[in-house]
């Protein structure tokens, strides 16, 4: 795309997401277009580009580089076939996280530095189900009762790599007994400078405790905070088509996966961004 012709951005919902119109990922992307994409990403937190059939791993990685560095930190039990990307797949031998429904979460909160963003590119998808849902946790936090916001403002949670046993085998990732990881983060994250609107860093998959609270009280508080992620008007559900590419802010949005027939083929190429 020539820098003389900038893409346009069509909002997907009032609270998050924009479709990028007029961008071809198979062609080089100039500096002005890169800056327009970065600004749109800061504003909308999620960018959708449709009709990108045939995008290669190299082209996807080049696009990801506009927003950060691609780094694969989760290890496949079956050797990953590509050095620059993983595949969320229930049919590839090296596919990760390919089966089942997933609750709302941010990826890699068990790392000291969680991912800043993620890309998924749809190669093959079921006719029904397997949608990806996104929720704006900054908006969810702002909508919480003031008493709850005050209570959690200074609390921190421990997040652990909990994929173990049959779950690790089904998802083709290292067993937690082999790769023990944990990290402590604020329950409400406020950006690198600590002064941005708060985003909720609590999830069902990896949040194991609230520091300084008895276990039962901590679990109850985690559940109470998570209930605020399910307001439908703060969410966007993406129904995949082959050739869709979605980039989202992993620090401010949480994402989930709806159920789908495990016999249906589903493969999406994943670029994790730091």
Torsion, Cα of 33, 34, 39, 42 (10° steps)? 140
Q: What's the pLDDT score for residue 1?
A: 47
Can you say whether the dihedral through the CA atoms of 21, 133, 183, 269 is positive or negative? negative
CB 183, CB 158: distance < 8 Å: yes
Instruction: Give tens-digit pLDDT for 37-50.
Output: 999 999 999 999 99
Percent of the chain whose pLDDT exceeds 70 = 99
The model's confidence at residue 127, banded by pLDDT at 50, 70 and 90, is very high
Instruction: Give tens-digit pLDDT for 146-199.
Output: 999 999 999 999 999 999 999 999 999 999 999 999 999 999 999 989 999 999
Mean pLDDT of the chain: 96
Delimit the domains of the chain by residue range. Answer: 8-273
The residue-averaged pLDDT of 76-104 equals 95
The residue-averaged pLDDT of 210-234 equals 96
- Centroid of chain to Cα 35: 22
CB 22, CB 7: distance < 8 Å: yes
| Token output for 95 | 């596919």
Q: What's the pLDDT score for residue 75?
A: 85
Angle at 239 between CA 161 and CA 87, to 5 degrees: 45
Distance CA 222, CA 227 (A): 9
Architecture of the domain delimited by 8-273: 4-Layer Sandwich (3.60)
Nearest to 58 by CA among 243, 269, 274: 269
Percent of the chain whose pLDDT exceeds 90 = 95
The model's confidence at residue 5, banded by pLDDT at 50, 70 and 90, is confident
């Amino acid at each position: 795309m020539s820098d003389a012709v900038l893409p346009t951005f069509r909002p997907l919902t009032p609270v998050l997401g924009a479709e990028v119109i007029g961008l071809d990922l198979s062609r080089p992307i100039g500096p002005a277009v890169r800056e327009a994409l970065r600004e749109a990403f800061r504003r909308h937190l999620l960018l959708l580009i449709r009709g990108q059939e045939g995008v290669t791993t190299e082209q996807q990685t080049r696009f990801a580089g506009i927003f950060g560095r691609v780094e694969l930190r989760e290890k496949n039990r079956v050797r990953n076939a590509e050095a620059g990307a993983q595949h969320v797949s229930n049919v590839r031998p090296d596919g990760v996280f390919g089966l089942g429904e997933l609750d709302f979460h941010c990826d890699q909160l068990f790392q000291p530095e969680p991912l800043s963003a993620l890309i998924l590119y749809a190669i093959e998808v079921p006719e029904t189900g397997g949608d990806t849902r996104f929720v704006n946790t900054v908006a969810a936090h702002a909508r919480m009762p003031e008493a709850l916001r005050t209570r959690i403002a200074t609390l921190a949670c421990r997040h652990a790599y909990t994929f173990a046993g049959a779950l690790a085998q089904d998802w083709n990732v290292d067993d937690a007994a082999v790769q023990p990881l944990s990290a402590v983060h604020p329950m409400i994250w406020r950006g690198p400078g600590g002064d941005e609107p708060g985003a909720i860093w609590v999830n069902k998959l990896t949040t194991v405790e609230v520091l300084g609270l008895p276990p039962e009280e901590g679990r109850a508080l985690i559940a109470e905070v998570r209930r605020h992620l399910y307001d439908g008007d703060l969410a966007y559900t993406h129904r995949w088509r082959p050739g869709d590419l979605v980039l989202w802010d992993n620090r401010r949005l949480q994402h989930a996966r709806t159920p789908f027939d495990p016999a249906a083929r589903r493969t999406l190429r994943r670029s994790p961004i730091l």
